[in-house]
Structure 1
Amino acid sequence: MSTKILADSACDLSERYYKAFDIEMVPLTVHLDGKDYKDVEEIDPKTVYDAMREGKGTKTSQVSPQTFKTIFTSYAKANQPLIYFAFSSELSGTCQTAQMMAQEVKEEYPEAALHVIDTKCASIGYGLVILKAAELAKNGVGIDEIIETAAYHANHMEHIFTVDDLEYLRRGGRVSRASAFVGSLLKIKPVLHVDEGKLVPLENVRGSKKLLNRMLEIMEERGTDFKNQTIGISHGDDLERAEKLASMIKEKFDVNDVLIEWVGAVIGAHSGPGTLAIFFLNSEYT
């Protein structure tokens, strides 16, 4: 029986990819205006960004243990292999919850082929790992090879991103109130990356005009073989700038395949509107 790939909504893939590659998706939860919404299924990123622009607070929560237990039990009963490639454990407790529930289900079904892999990735960086795994599964590749290949991609996935307003990062505890105020005053744009699954500030760039060029410089410093990989771009309700960045990447690196998606509601609830990110395999990838 073929291996099933499970993702969570923080991979920021559009529904068409779930259908095309037979990927199962489990949603995290977005809290807005006193109500809870299942990400993707009951709320979209645009709604969240519009609410944030109006000054409304947003929160998110992980997938419930019972949801994972139900999913894992159904695959165990069907004797179908399942791999859940999870949103970074440094950014959500979802992965740890899944690991506990998988172990619990395995106690009842010892032969169940249930695997939970921490990608240490987010947004389309995570999404590209999911697509690689799903492509292999669709082609009938064995479970061990799927895990090994997808994990290798996850380990070499670069996340280079910026936010439009430091205030959203301040609310999430990523920068101080003073830094957010000074950054906004001086029009400083932070460039961040993901290191071992954590969001880490990389440098500051003064002025929006310099920002995209600097992001491409970092991409050139860190990446390799761009022509033969899919480059990911995600945006927080700023398609125009995302498309401009895609054009710059294609021109500079002779790239053929660029995937543009929204920064989804869960991640966007913390990064805010105007977020812009590039995802690619780094120079250690061969």
Structure 2
Amino acid sequence: MHIQVVCDSASDLNHKTREELSIRSLPLKVITQEAEYEDGENITPKNVYDRMRAGEAPKTAQVSPQAFRDTFTSYAEKGQPFIYFAFSSELSGTYQTAKMIEQEVKEEYKDAQFDVIDTKAASLGYGLVVLRAAELAQKGATYKEILEIGRYHAHHMEHIFTVDDLEYLQRGGRVSKAAAFVGGLLNIKPLLHMENGQLIPLEKIRGSKKVLKRMIEVMDERGSNLKDQRIAISHGDDLERAEKLAEMIQKEFGTEQIHIDFVGATIGAHSGPGTIALFFLNDTYK
């Protein structure tokens, strides 16, 4: 029996990609002034960014315990092995909730074969981990192989990103109010990365034009076999800059596989319009 790969909407993988690889995705919640939506199901990233530009501050909520219970139980009842690769536990309570439900379901279904994995990743960095696992599953890889390679990719996934306005990260508690104020005042564009699943400031760069160039330099410093690996770029409704970064990467490294997509509604509600994020492996694994 093939292995089912499960993720949540913070992977920022679009419907087409998920359907092609039979990936099951559970939506996080986006809460606006008038309603609660399911990320990627009945609200688009563009809608969230337009609301934020108009001054609204959407909130988000994790996948519900019942959604996990229904999904995990449905697979356990059928004897379907699956692996749930989760959004970073440092950015959401989704992983902890899934672990709680995992214990409940395994107590009821003693023979159920599944694991809940904290990827410590977000957006398309998380998405790349899920993509690789799903491709292996389609090719008939064993449970152990998918688990091992998925964990490896999660551990070695680099996240390098910048935001257009630090105020959005400050609202969500990702940076201090003082840092957001100083950044906006001096036209400083922050370069951030992920360290053990947390958002960590890396550098402060004056002016947006220098940011993409510095992202390429950091990629060169940290990346491995950049020509042949698949990388990803996600953007907060700024496709032009994302494509510009992709062109720079192709010119510098000859990279052939570059996946570009929106920063999804859940993560975008915290990072804001104009976010540009780059994801690649600092080591390679076939």
By the TM > 0.5 criterion, same fold? yes
What is the match of residue 2 of structure 2? 2
Counterpart CA distance in 2 for 1:90 and 1:229 is 27
Describe the shift of the 1:111–1:283 C-alpha distance in structure 2 as closer, same or farther (beyond 3 A): closer
Describe the shift of the 1:283–1:71 C-alpha distance in structure 2 as closer, same or farther (beyond 3 A): closer
What is the match of residue 144 of structure 1? 144
Could you tell me which runs of 5 or more consecutive residues in structure 2 were left unpaired when the two chains were aligned. Answer: none
What is the match of residue 265 of structure 1? 265
Matched-pair contact (CA < 8 Å) for 2:149–2:285 = no
Describe the shift of the 1:285–1:221 C-alpha distance in structure 2 as closer, same or farther (beyond 3 A): farther
Counterpart CA distance in 2 for 1:75 and 1:283 is 33
1:231 aligned counterpart, secondary structure = strand
What is the match of residue 51 of structure 1? 51
What is the match of residue 120 of structure 2? 120
1:80-95 to structure 2, matched below 5 A, reads: 80-95=80-95
2:110 aligned counterpart, secondary structure = coil
Deviation at 1:224, TM superposition (A): 1.0
What is the match of residue 189 of structure 2? 189
Matched-pair contact (CA < 8 Å) for 1:224–1:285 = no
What is the match of residue 212 of structure 1? 212
The answer to whether the aligner puts 1:162 opposite 2:162 as a matched pair is yes
Matched letter for residue 183 of structure 1? G
Q: What do the CA deviations read for 1:147-176 (whole angstroms, capped 9, x no partner)?
A: 000110010000000000011111112223
What is the match of residue 29 of structure 1? 29
What is the match of residue 20 of structure 1? 20
Counterpart CA distance in 1 for 2:106 and 2:283 is 38
Matched-pair contact (CA < 8 Å) for 2:229–2:284 = no
2:150 aligned counterpart, secondary structure = helix
Matched letter for residue 38 of structure 1? E
Counterpart CA distance in 1 for 2:117 and 2:145 is 13
The answer to whether the aligner puts 1:68 opposite 2:68 as a matched pair is yes
| Range that drifts further, 19-28 or 173-182 | 173-182
Q: What do the CA deviations read for 1:2-38 (whole angstroms, capped 9, x no partner)?
A: 1100010000011111111011110000001131101
Counterpart CA distance in 2 for 1:175 and 1:67 is 31
1:85 aligned counterpart, secondary structure = strand
Describe the shift of the 1:17–1:115 C-alpha distance in structure 2 as closer, same or farther (beyond 3 A): same
Q: What do the CA deviations read for 1:108-132 (whole angstroms, capped 9, x no partner)?
A: 1100012111100000000000000
Counterpart CA distance in 1 for 2:187 and 2:81 is 50
Alignment length (residue pairs): 286
Counterpart CA distance in 1 for 2:83 and 2:56 is 36
Deviation at 1:103, TM superposition (A): 1.1
Q: What do the CA deviations read for 1:202-237 (whole angstroms, capped 9, x no partner)?
A: 110001111110111111111110111111000000
Counterpart CA distance in 2 for 1:285 and 1:224 is 10
What is the match of residue 105 of structure 1? 105
Could you tell me which runs of 5 or more consecutive residues in structure 1 were left unpaired when the two chains were aligned. Answer: none
Q: TM-score, normalised by structure 2?
A: 0.98
Q: Indicate the percent of aligned positions where both proteins have the same amino acid.
A: 61
